[in-house]
Amino acid sequence: MRHYARGQVLPLWAGAIVTTLMFAFLAINYGNTIRYQIRAQNAADSVAQGLMALQAERFNKLEVSLYATAVEEYRLRHVLDGILLAANDSGGCQAAYSTATYSSSLKYYTGPFAEGTCAQTYHDLTLEYAYSLNRYTTDAELVNDFSTYSTYANFTADTAALLTHLSGTARCNTDDPSVVNVDGTDCAFTYTILGEQKRAGLEAVQQDAQNIFVPDLNRSSSEYGTDSENQSLFAPAEIDVTACAVIPPLIPNFGPMQMKSQFAVGRAAATTVQFEEDWLQPGAVNDPTRPPNTFFQPDESYTNFTASSSSTTGSTSEMYNWYGVDFGGNAATAYVNYGVFNSATYDNEFSVRLGWWNSVAIKPFATAPAYGQICP
């Protein structure tokens, strides 16, 4: 009968345990590195598109203020036409001054005026003209302000300032690198702008809705002639950024094995594109926030009047209000295959093409840097 010595498998178990712990040591540190690498890429993506959103927001605000200015200019022109008609006792008002008093100093009749008289109509429209002119002035000032801040030179200065603000120690808890600050920036990383330039072109966004080439896309002329815009002003931009952090190992050493700190680097680029274009016809598009059959920019009437029959062959309800503002309502039909709209314009019309901007990710374009240039 043979007796075996006990404990012969103990060295095997000890070796297996040590090997397992070594693999666990490597796996934990490797997993931590991968986790930070994912964070680095997310951080770079968010910062790149966040910086470009600065330009997209300004372009959109500029478009809205331009639209508001155009609405007021259209309104001013029609109100002024009504004033001229009323001053000449024309357009449907009644040339009756029985309740008015003639002022020899003003050389004009003063109120009270009877409703529907040309004098009352003139009075109502001049007040509306003053209100509209004040709004137009405000809108024009906004256009000027947004234009100033939308220039490429201001954009580059503001992106640098915004990046400093987002990654500043005042925005982060430096004792806890896992904190994300109130503006959404991951505080564990240092951010660097590798490249920032005017975009040389990006597929179909080279032209606007009228097939006029967008400024500074390396185009000098179009079917409408040479671009007259200052090409250094409103050029769509593109930006290339990195996010980098030095990641210490969770477990620095295990026996003879020593782990060094690793770099976690994320890189991303973004640009602004006009991702949507709209054809807007005020007076024909329903406003979903209002009762049914209520349109954006509905007809505006500022005074009582007797409808003029000079522009109609129908009933009184169809007669034209020379003292109001009609934004049109001539609904157009879109022919998608040809990229055009067709509309039978039978009345006044105010229509506009609007383009809305957004920041989108693109392929990085700057020269790849060394870690020492982008990591602390």
Query: Which one, of 223, 170, 172, 168, lies nearest residue 191 by Cα?
Result: 168
218 in a structural domain: no
220 in a structural domain: no
Query: Which one, of 263, 55, 85, lies nearest residue 153 by Cα?
Result: 55
Q: What is the pTM of this model?
A: 0.74
Query: Which one, of 171, 211, 184, lies nearest residue 355 by Cα?
Result: 211
Number of domains in the chain: 1
Q: How far apart are the C-alpha atoms of 282 and 298, rounded to whole Å? A: 7
Q: 10-87 and 152-167 are packed helices; what angle lies between their axes, rounded to 10 degrees?
A: 140
313 in a structural domain: yes
Q: What pLDDT, on a 0 to 100 scale, did the predictor assign at position 134?
A: 96
Q: Which two tokens stand for residue 13?
A: 């178990």
45 in a structural domain: yes
Do you find a cis peptide bond into 112, omega within 30 degrees of 0?
yes
Q: What pLDDT, on a 0 to 100 scale, did the predictor assign at position 315?
A: 41
- Structural domain span for residue 91: 10-199+236-374
85 in a structural domain: yes
Cα angle 234, 239, 245 (rounded to 5 degrees) comes to: 155
Q: What pLDDT, on a 0 to 100 scale, did the predictor assign at position 223?
A: 46
What is the helix (H) or strand (E) element at residue 329, kind and residue range?
A: none
Residues of the chain with pLDDT under 70: 1-31, 96-115, 168-184, 200-233, 250-259, 305-319, 371, 376
261 in a structural domain: yes
Q: What pLDDT, on a 0 to 100 scale, did the predictor assign at position 338?
A: 79
Query: What CA dihedral angle connects 59, 61, 63 and 68, to 10 degrees?
Result: -170
156 in a structural domain: yes
223 in a structural domain: no
* Residue 95 phi, psi (nearest 5): -80, 65
By CB neighbour count within 10 A (0-12 exposed, 13-18 middle, 19+ buried), where does 128 fall? buried
